[in-house]
Amino acid sequence: MRPVSHANFRHKVEHLLSYADVTIGGHRPWDIHIHNNNFYSRVMASGSLGLGESYMDGWWDCESLDEFIHRILRTELDCKVKVLKDLFDIFKSKLVNYQKVSHAFDIGPQHYDIGNNLYRHMLDRRMLYSCGYWKDATTLDEAQEAKLDLIFRKLDLRPGMKVLDIGCGWGGAAGYAAEKYGVRVVGITVSQEQVQLGRELCRGLPVELRFQDYRSLNEKFDRIFSIGMFEHVGYKNYRSYFSVVKKCLKENGLFLLHTIGKSRTMVTTDPWIQCYIFPNSLIPSAKQISTAFDKKFVLEDWHNFGADYDKTLMHWYRNFHDNWDAVKQNYDERFYRMWKYYLQSCAGSFRARKNQLWQIVFSECGVPGVYQSVR
User: What b/e string do you get for 348-362 counting C-beta neighbours within 10 Å, with b at 16 or more?
Assistant: bbbbbebbbbbbbbb
Place 79 in a pLDDT band, splitting at 50, 70 and 90: confident
Rounded to an integer, the average pLDDT of 184-211 is 98
H helices of the chain, in order, are 6-18, 39-56, 65-74, 84-95, 107, 116-122, 140-154, 172-181, 192-201, 238-248, 271-276, 286-293, 307-322, 324-327, 333-351
List, for residues 127-159, the tens digit of each pLDDT value. Answer: 999 999 999 999 999 999 999 999 999 999 999
Q: Is the pLDDT of residue 91 over 50?
A: no
Q: Is the pLDDT of residue 366 over 50?
A: yes
**DSSP state at residue 214:** G
pTM (predicted TM-score): 0.93
% of the chain at pLDDT higher than 70: 93
Q: Is the pLDDT of residue 360 over 90?
A: yes
List, for residues 299-350, the tens digit of each pLDDT value. Answer: 999 999 999 999 999 999 999 999 999 999 999 999 999 999 999 999 999 9
Determine which of 3-7, 155-159, 196-200 has the lowest per-residue pLDDT on average: 3-7
Q: Residue 21 and residue 257: Cα distance in Å, rounded?
A: 37
Q: Residue 209 and residue 162: Cα distance in Å, rounded?
A: 14
pLDDT given at position 302: 98
Q: Is the pLDDT of residue 104 over 90?
A: no
Place 88 in a pLDDT band, splitting at 50, 70 and 90: very low
Q: Smallest Cα–Cα separation from 20: which of 72, 60, 65?
A: 72
Do 165 and 226 meet the contact criterion of CB atoms below 8 Å apart?
yes
pLDDT given at position 89: 54
Q: Is the pLDDT of residue 97 over 80?
A: no
- What is the number of alpha carbons within 13 Å of residue 297 lying toward its C-beta? 29
* SS3 at position 278: coil
List, for residues 244-277, the tens digit of each pLDDT value. Answer: 999 999 999 999 999 999 999 998 899 999 999 9
Q: Is the pLDDT of residue 174 over 70?
A: yes
Q: Smallest Cα–Cα separation from 186: which of 194, 177, 108?
A: 177
Q: Residue 316 and residue 276: Cα distance in Å, rounded?
A: 18
Q: Residue 104 and residue 312: Cα distance in Å, rounded?
A: 27
In the chain, residues under CATH classification 3.40.50.150 are 101-331+354-363
Rounded to an integer, the average pLDDT of 65-82 is 88
Do 128 and 151 meet the contact criterion of CB atoms below 8 Å apart?
no
Q: Residue 271 and residue 248: Cα distance in Å, rounded?
A: 34
Higher-confidence position of 92 and 111: 111
Superfamily name and number for 101-331+354-363: Vaccinia Virus protein VP39 (3.40.50.150)
pLDDT given at position 209: 98
Q: Is the pLDDT of residue 235 over 80?
A: yes
Higher-confidence position of 93 and 291: 291
Mind telling me the catalytic residues?
Answer: 346
pLDDT given at position 92: 47
